[in-house]
Amino acid sequence: MTPLDPVVLNEIPLIRKIIRDETWYEGERRGCWVSSNDPVVKENVCRVICRVGEELRRNLTAQIAAGGQPDGCSVQESKNTRAA
């Protein structure tokens, strides 16, 4: 079995947060509960990941290489730049 990349392991909680945030944003936009499996939520999550993914990976890789524990907050997206 191939060992998991430590960067990937540290990306998972951040991706979960993006999913929670985008689900909440879409629920607020619609004014009702929205599933994280909603197609609009999935599209928005993909847009965010595509936009911040490279920076996220670069920051996590640098933190791990420096021997530190990744802080889980390597990329913070403002509401002004999130997917529409």
Question: Has residue 1 been placed in a domain?
Answer: no
pLDDT of residue 5: 81
- pLDDT per residue over 4-13, tens digit each? 788 888 889 9
Please give the single-letter amino acid code of residue 66.
A
Note the pTM of the prediction, 2 decimals: 0.71
12 contacts 73 by C-beta, under 8 angstroms: no
Give me the number of domains the chain comprises: 1
Domain boundaries, position 24: 6-65
What's the chain's length in residues?
Answer: 84
